[in-house]
Amino acid sequence: MRICIAPDKFKGSLSAGEAAQAIARGIVRVLPQAQLILVPVADGGDGTARALVDALGGRMVSAEVTGPDGRRVNAAYGVLDAQTAVIELAQASGLALVGAGANDPLTATTRGTGELIAAAIDAGAKRIILAIGGSATNDAGTGALRALGARFLDAKGEPLPEGGGALSGLARIDVSALETRLRGTTIEIASDVRNPLCGPSGASAVYGPQKGASPSDVRRLDDALNRFAAVVKETVGADIRSVPGAGAAGGAGGGFLGLAHATIRPGAELVFEVLGFGKRLAGASLAITGEGRIDRQTLDGKAPYAVAQAAHERGIPVVALAGSVECAAAELEAAGIAAALSIVPGPMEKEEAMRRAAELLTAAAETLARLLTLENDLRRT
């Protein structure tokens, strides 16, 4: 039996690679002769670099960069081959890097993300895959673009302060050094966010409050992004205000789209293309996926859903393992998931379940394998 094991991360507990190993341990206890193909997956959110590195035999490179609040932080990017690097915005500019309640979305900067991109380019990367989930910022990626050479100037020709709030005073953008820095480099943005840059469904209105923005902050930030979009159009002729995905990561999608000639792709689609996921599925009798929680967001295009869709196209059944399952069987079936099983065997505090995630996942995978052998036994009777 050939089984493709393709989980996403179990957030706060296991990386996608660790989850795949835990599932494999449970399967081999019952089916030691099974051929297991481990393919950690992601959808462009945090954990994407590690998943791709684990799946493709790459490596992580550490660097000290500027965090969202200006303090220095330790971050890392993935190297997949001599010319391909994976940068996670969350590594350098993520909300998790700022203490609870301490983030200021008016001043938070993506500069560290640009510093990671610069480090990757200096090391020889020509293709940058930029995963932009989990940001603390609302600066349209201007901090990152500054680190790569762009200049954002006020009416007097003076550089603006860092952060999205300052963009309301933007008068001119100088991209000459940025274009020189990125010459010969392609940037592909992996995101599952389709929000436009501005307006009621834009970056500030939808995600600003999650980053600490008050109602007045949201209005100020949205006005600032509108100003940014207007000056981008004056500078390079690109109208980024309403482009789907431009609002991702506090407008970083739009900033890179307009000024760095980046492309925006659905996160899972891009990651699965890099993984060559279809080829890895070939010949499998079963695919096993999973993540910390299977819910309706999962079915809106996250990694387990993408696994299910790819497997369904090839007639391969899919089972999902998760800390919790919040979808009805009919919803799962419609998404191509034959069954979803919780790995938690009974009442348990969340903290304990997260601490024991690897053990619980292995035990659930062993149970699944026993069910597979029972099915085979029933077929013989």
Task: Tell me how crowded residue 26 is: count the other CB atoms within 10 A of its CB.
Answer: 25
Burial of 70 (0-12, 13-18, 19+ CB in 10 A): middle
pLDDT tens-digit series, residues 189-215: 998 788 999 999 999 999 999 999 999
Secondary structure, 3-state, 108-135: CCCHHHHHHHHHHHHCCCCEEEEECCCE
pLDDT at position 284, please? 96
Kindly report the CATH number that applies to the domain delimited by 2-40+285-380: 3.40.50.10350
pLDDT at position 376, please? 65
Secondary structure, 3-state, 310-379: HHHHCCCCEEEEEEEECCCHHHHHHCCCCEEEECCCCCCCHHHHHHCHHHHHHHHHHHHHHHHHHHHHHH
Q: Do the Cβ atoms of 170 and 223 come closer than 8 Å?
A: no
Confidence (pTM): 0.89
List, by residue range, all CATH 3.90.1510.10 domains of the chain. Answer: 48-268
Task: Tell me 164's DSSP state.
Answer: S
Q: Do the Cβ atoms of 107 and 143 come closer than 8 Å?
A: no
Three-class secondary structure of residue 55 per DSSP: helix
The CA distance from 358 to 135, in Å, is 27
Q: Could you tell me the two tokens for 370?
A: 């026993």
Q: CA torsion angle for 176, 182, 184, 187 (degrees, to 10)?
A: -130
pLDDT at position 381, please? 56
Question: Which positions of the chain have pLDDT values less than 70?
Answer: 375-381
List, by residue range, all CATH 3.40.50.10350 domains of the chain. Answer: 2-40+285-380
Q: Could you tell me the two tokens for 246?
A: 């431009």
Q: Which of 211, 19, 254, 255 is nearest to 97 (CA)?
A: 211
State the fold for domain 48-268: Glycerate kinase, domain 2 (3.90.1510)
What percentage of the chain reaches a pLDDT higher than 90? Answer: 88
Q: State the pairing for strand pair 2-5/286-294.
A: parallel
pLDDT at position 301, please? 83
Say which residues have a Cβ less than 8 Å from residue 65's Cβ, sequence separation at least 6.
72, 73, 75, 92, 111, 112, 113, 115, 116
